[in-house]
């Protein structure tokens, strides 16, 4: 299995530090790099790179989220990794 990149948009009752921090902790545990942030329209955006299986586990987790999150929809765009990130961050704005 190779490396993949996924851009994930999660909508529903997902805004807030708890969802972002839970996503970040899981990503670090899976060895996935990238960032996660709240969008002004109420969605959460996640950009993740790493081993195919690990990124797919993170994306699958986003469909349920942590306890208390009410995920309505998850949109995923798959792509080839670019190797831009060396750690997983909570971003106010996306990295350049």
Would you name the residues annotated as active-site residues?
Answer: 20, 38
CA distances from 53 to 2, 17, 40, 72 (A): 9, 26, 30, 24
Instruction: Name the residue among 61, 75, 53, 54 with its Cα closest to residue 23.
Output: 61
Beta strands in 32-69 (DSSP E): 33-38, 44-51
Q: Determine how β-strand 44-51 pairs with β-strand 33-38.
A: antiparallel
């Amino acid at each position: 299995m190779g490396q993949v990149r996924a851009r994930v948009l999660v909508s529903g009752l997902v805004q807030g530090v708890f969802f972002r921090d839970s996503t970040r902790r899981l990503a670090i545990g899976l060895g996935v790099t990238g960032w996660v942030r709240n969008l002004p329209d109420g969605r959460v955006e996640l950009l993740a790179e790493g081993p195919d299986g690990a990124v797919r586990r993170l994306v699958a987790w986003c469909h349920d989220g942590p306890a208390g999150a009410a995920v309505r929809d998850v949109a995923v765009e798959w792509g080839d990794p670019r190797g831009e990130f060396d750690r997983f961050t909570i971003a106010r704005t996306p990295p350049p």
